A and B are shown apart, each in its own frame.
Chain A
Amino acid sequence: SQTIHQWPATLVQPVGSPLSLECTVEGTSNPNLYWYRQAAGRGLQLLFYSVGIGQISSEVPQNLSASRPQDRQFILSSKKLLLSDSGFYLCAWSGLIRGGNTGELFFGEGSRLTVL
């Protein structure tokens, strides 16, 4: 069966410090991978998504970046955090059926980031 691991679960970081969140998927190959952020009481904001190794689509943030060094690994990074980066970060994967993306997302447990 497929599983998704995301870490760290919680972190408190000062403004201007770097960030690295990691996500790995097991039990499937060539998944689509997604990073979302959810600010307190808000909806899910799409940050990045990837349909394959080295293929990253960026949606919104200027100070965040994503990389996909391996098929089932997705990393979210920042060189300098802002206060507005605080939130609940969620990694998710979706699989393929008959060559097409099902779009059905399976989420990790999330990483709760507080920037002070």
Chain B
Amino acid sequence: QKEVEQNSGPLSVPEGAIASLNCTYSDRVSQSFFWYRQYSGKSPELIMSIYSNGDKEDGRFTAQLNKASQYVSLLIRDSQPSDSATYLCAAMNRDDKIIFGKGTRLHILP
């Protein structure tokens, strides 16, 4: 069973600090990786995609990929209360199958 694993949390981070979210995947043929944010009762929305090893930055968000360790992370700098949500990690394989982790609940403390 190919899986994507995340710590369910909740992860509590003070406002203004860096939130660090982690994800591991078991399918070595996974090629593309994604982070989504989901507010309670709403649909997920794409934050970042990352396709190659290293870091990718977009505003306050940085995604990191290490294919050798099968590890993906998301850093949120200058965390805001509006960042409080569930963050979903996803991986896509060569057959276009996209699998999600169970998500990490993030709480930003004012």
Contact = CB atoms under 8 A, between A and B. Distances in A.
Interface of A: 32, 34, 36, 42-44, 46, 49, 51, 57, 59, 90, 94, 101-110
Interface of B: 32, 34, 36, 42-46, 49, 88, 90, 92, 95-103
The dominant DSSP class at the B interface is strand
Closest A-B pairs by Cβ, 6 of them? A43-B102, A103-B92, A107-B43, A44-B100, A103-B32, A101-B96
6 contacts: A43-B100, A43-B103, A44-B88, A103-B90, A104-B34, A106-B46
A49 B45 contact: no
Nearest to A112: B41
Nearest to A109: B43
A32 B95 CA distance: 11
